[in-house]
Amino acid sequence: MQLKFSEEVAGALKAGRPVVALESTIIAHGFPWPDNLELGRRLEGAVREQGAVPATIAILDGEVRIGLDDGGLTRLAEGGGEIAKCSVRDLPVVIGRGGDGATTVAATARIAHLAGIAVFATGGIGGVHRPGRPGGVSHDVSADLYEMARTPITVVSAGAKSILDLPATVEMLETLGVTVLGFGTDCFPAFFSRESDLPVMTRVDDVAAVAAMIAARDGLGLEGAVLVCNPPPRDAAIAAAEVEDWLKQALRQAQEQGIGGSATTPFLLARLRELSGGRTVGVNKALAIANARLGAEIAGALLSRR
């Protein structure tokens, strides 16, 4: 697979400067135009503010782009539904057809690792979906989890999206051998909320400690990601009980309307936005920016160890 680096990213990697990978699905599919373009620019700006270089990853005209100029960001943002949503399995199809694609957590992690980028910041990872009926078991598991099990990269996120089955997601991360760190927290963040009743494997309170653990993973030659869970900013976060009440309403409405499969997640997120009066959108933006900033700090700390 040919990788096309922007001049800025190529120069940073050659010079040994910190680089942070950013996904593009949040731009093409996460928010409407023109909010998505503004967010894409703000994510890159947050990385630069911490002295690192942003590498937004996407597929344009069948080329794997590592770092986009403003024209590329605009193309993704304007394209919306015309831009393919690419997990790892979709990459051969979109690249082979010479198409445009926005990369998910799984695809971004894989490509970033191939590009020699050690840190990737995102909003929230995918996970195990909630069962379709009470007491049931879901076999719908995001490719994000399996990719983190086999790709030695550092992923910074606000936990997993709270519309998912968080206990099952945490259990799956443990089963797959993914190292999970809570940055300034003892619990696994619930995306819109800072708190949950799920403990993280280890709490860390500074980027130097994170970098030391990543270096130890690399020194041992271990496969698998280090997942750094960064709770959403306090001034934006919503209480977990409040989010759960909205989510129960949305799940009930989805069941009543016969909504299932791939249509479930967009429906639930849209209903949460409506039920919260737009507050969930504000949290989503704030946490993504905070994660980009932390990712840049970790990338810098890693390079300082060399």
Cα separation, 88 vs 225, whole angstroms: 16
161 labelled catalytic: yes
Query: Looking up tokens 């990712």, which residue turns up?
Result: 295
99 and 84 Cβ atoms separated by less than 8 Å:
yes
List all residues 6 or more positions away from 123 whose beta carbon is below 8 Å from its beta carbon: 26, 30, 157, 158, 191, 284, 287, 288, 291
Q: Which of 44, 147, 161, 297 is catalytic?
A: 161
44 and 296 Cβ atoms separated by less than 8 Å:
no
Q: Take residue 139 and report the two structure tokens written for it.
A: 């076999």
Give per-residue burial for 239-255: e unless 16+ CB within 10 Å, then b.
Answer: ebeebeebbeebbeebe
23 labelled catalytic: yes
- Residue 162 φ/ψ, nearest 5 degrees: -70, -10
Q: Are strands 53-60 and 101-103 parallel, antiparallel or unpaired?
A: antiparallel
Q: Which of 23, 44, 147, 297 is catalytic?
A: 23
How crowded is residue 137: how many other Cβ atoms within 10 Å of its Cβ?
10
List all residues 6 or more positions away from 243 whose beta carbon is below 8 Å from its beta carbon: 162, 190, 192, 193, 272, 276, 280
Helices 264-275 and 279-304: angle between axes, nearest 10 degrees: 110
Query: Dihedral of the CA atoms 65, 70, 71, 74 (nearest 10)?
Result: 100
Helices 279-304 and 207-219: angle between axes, nearest 10 degrees: 60
- Active-site residue list: 23, 161
